[in-house]
A and B are shown apart, each in its own frame.
Chain A
């Protein structure tokens, strides 16, 4: 029974995604609304992403230091932290925060628009609600998450530099050189690309849950909630796939 439910849901979600790909490149283009959504989605999650990224960088550094000292490789701390943040922690933590904030708000907003017939009202007012509401939000989420990840990475590294400086002194430029020297293009690129997929997943799942919600106001809460749960899980699944794909494409994991 659960399996059947899961499969129906997955099928519906794929159909919804198919509808997105059929509609997004066709006129009429909702440029103004897309810009507004980019602002809402990107700018509004910035404080939260910044704060969590900063704490992540700081704490990670402080937690790693004792082991690094034990092994006598304390000088490698910036390099290790840099790789961990850029390759994995930055994109995944940012995406999870993004799912919590944006996924739920998209789910709740579209859900309440659906149950109060606002989506029907838009359709009657000469607007394709799928384009106006769904396409703009999905594109905005897809475009904004990578930007947030980059900013988050930078803030994280800054936090990490502060963490290094708690017990010793390193200038920021030295710290930065150490991080950059140990990163290669093949570390940065897959991480950057996968954050597009994370953004897309959060956008499309939030919209799907909201757009198809039913059963009155109770359904709205459920939509918002399951938007977060499903997109968080999907983020990890994409992460798992991304590492395999990157590996297969020759972006070798460092040993």
Chain B
């Protein structure tokens, strides 16, 4: 077992940035529903990877395993050199401070104003932070998504696209080194979706973040990806640049590009 791991590790050619995220032999099932079966993925620093998969193929399960919200049955998920399933609560929190997570359903706190929503991760991760600093960071994050004027509103008063952007601002506020996006454009009209994708690309450039995007929106895949990974039957079925996959004749790959 150990020898096999070393063998795999030895095969890697270390990239200049190094791997930020390495997933090996990941298994996760719910009862008889084998959602992830032997999933492997590596993401280098600064890289932007899009995971494509059908609805219900386990994309959300995958990134929930990465952030430690779900416990995998088997396999390792190394982020910043630490194996996520092995970490205790405190170590996990330290890692999570460096990771942004954009929920599919936004998950804005209904009972809090936009300001309080954005302050929440700041206050919870960094307990020693002055009110002035907090205010500056909140406004800075809102500026990044162009919604400064909503700071004292409640989430219920915003449109779906605005909520997505606020959720993005909340993800950005900690200046994460890696951001995990769960279907950032689903449920939005094409124009708004395009705006969100542009925002994601802009953020990638501005903060040089590593990103893992889950999507089945072709615009998103084309614009935001350095590399595309196709998730079929719980495994990484194919992987490559958008253009190379576009030419791939395999029907399992083709179906996504029609």
| B41-80 vs A, Cβ < 8 Å mask (1 yes, 0 no) | 0000000000000000000000010010100000000000
Whether B125 and A118, one on each chain, are in contact in the complex, defined by CB atoms closer than 8 angstroms, is no
Q: What is the bound-complex CA distance between A127 and B97, given in angstroms? A: 11
Whether B107 and A120, one on each chain, are in contact in the complex, defined by CB atoms closer than 8 angstroms, is yes
Query: Using Cβ atoms and an 8 Å threshold, which residues of chain B touch A116?
Result: 105-107, 110
Query: Using Cβ atoms and an 8 Å threshold, which residues of chain A touch B243?
Result: none
Is B121 in contact with chain A by the CB < 8 A criterion?
Answer: yes
Whether A126 and B96, one on each chain, are in contact in the complex, defined by CB atoms closer than 8 angstroms, is yes
Give, as a whole number of angstroms, the nearest-CB distance from A108 to chain B: 11
Is A74 in contact with chain B by the CB < 8 A criterion?
Answer: no
Count contacts on B: residues with CB < 8 A to the other chain: 22
Task: Give the nearest-CB partner of A116 in chain B.
Answer: B105
Query: Using Cβ atoms and an 8 Å threshold, which residues of chain A touch B93?
Result: 126
Q: What is the bound-complex CA distance between A56 and B67, given in angstroms? A: 53
Whether B69 and A124, one on each chain, are in contact in the complex, defined by CB atoms closer than 8 angstroms, is yes
Whether B105 and A126, one on each chain, are in contact in the complex, defined by CB atoms closer than 8 angstroms, is no
Query: Using Cβ atoms and an 8 Å threshold, which residues of chain B touch A123?
Result: 69
Interface residue from B108, B111, B124 paired with A127 (Cβ < 8 Å) = B124
Give, as a whole number of angstroms, the nearest-CB distance from A37 to chain B: 12
Give, as a whole number of angstroms, the nearest-CB distance from B167 to chain A: 9
| A117-149 vs B, Cβ < 8 Å mask (1 yes, 0 no) | 110111111111000000000000000000000
Q: What is the bound-complex CA distance between A118 and B107, given in angstroms? A: 5
Give, as a whole number of angstroms, the nearest-CB distance from B28 to chain A: 16
Is B103 in contact with chain A by the CB < 8 A criterion?
Answer: yes
Q: What is the bound-complex CA distance between A123 and B89, given in angstroms? A: 10
Whether A118 and B96, one on each chain, are in contact in the complex, defined by CB atoms closer than 8 angstroms, is no
Is B109 in contact with chain A by the CB < 8 A criterion?
Answer: yes
A128 with B89: in contact, given A109-B111, A118-B109, A120-B69 (CB under 8 Å)?
A: yes
Is A112 in contact with chain B by the CB < 8 A criterion?
Answer: yes
A125 with B69: in contact, given A112-B110, A118-B109, A120-B103 (CB under 8 Å)?
A: no
Task: Give the nearest-CB partner of A124 in chain B.
Answer: B101
Q: What is the bound-complex CA distance between A49 and B67, given in angstroms? A: 44
Name B94-143 residues within 8 Å CB distance of A: 96-97, 99, 101, 103-111, 120-121, 124-125
Q: What is the bound-complex CA distance between A126 and B124, given in angstroms? A: 6
Q: What is the bound-complex CA distance between A124 and B125, given in angstroms? A: 10
Whether A125 and B124, one on each chain, are in contact in the complex, defined by CB atoms closer than 8 angstroms, is yes
Whether A118 and B69, one on each chain, are in contact in the complex, defined by CB atoms closer than 8 angstroms, is no
Whether B110 and A118, one on each chain, are in contact in the complex, defined by CB atoms closer than 8 angstroms, is yes
Q: What is the bound-complex CA distance between A220 and B140, given in angstroms? A: 35
Give, as a whole number of angstroms, the nearest-CB distance from B182 to chain A: 9
Query: Using Cβ atoms and an 8 Å threshold, which residues of chain A touch B120?
Result: 122, 125, 127
Whether B110 and A126, one on each chain, are in contact in the complex, defined by CB atoms closer than 8 angstroms, is no
Whether B107 and A126, one on each chain, are in contact in the complex, defined by CB atoms closer than 8 angstroms, is no
Give, as a whole number of angstroms, the nearest-CB distance from B141 to chain A: 14
Give, as a whole number of angstroms, the nearest-CB distance from A35 to chain B: 16
Whether A117 and B124, one on each chain, are in contact in the complex, defined by CB atoms closer than 8 angstroms, is no
Whether B111 and A121, one on each chain, are in contact in the complex, defined by CB atoms closer than 8 angstroms, is no
Whether A124 and B110, one on each chain, are in contact in the complex, defined by CB atoms closer than 8 angstroms, is no
Q: What is the bound-complex CA distance between A118 and B64, given in angstroms? A: 14
Task: Give the nearest-CB partner of A112 in chain B.
Answer: B110
Interface residue from B107, B121, B125 paired with A117 (Cβ < 8 Å) = B107
Query: Using Cβ atoms and an 8 Å threshold, which residues of chain A touch B125?
Result: 125-126
Query: Using Cβ atoms and an 8 Å threshold, which residues of chain B touch A109?
Result: 111
Chain B residues proximal to chain A, CB less than 8 Å: 64, 67, 69, 89, 93, 96-97, 99, 101, 103-111, 120-121, 124-125
Query: 7 new A-B pairs (CB below 8 Å) besides A117-B104, A121-B101, A124-B67?
Result: A113-B110, A118-B107, A120-B103, A121-B107, A121-B109, A122-B120, A123-B69
- 14 residue pairs from A and B, CB less than 8 Å apart: A112-B110, A116-B105, A116-B106, A116-B110, A117-B105, A118-B110, A120-B107, A121-B103, A121-B107, A121-B108, A121-B109, A126-B124, A126-B125, A127-B124
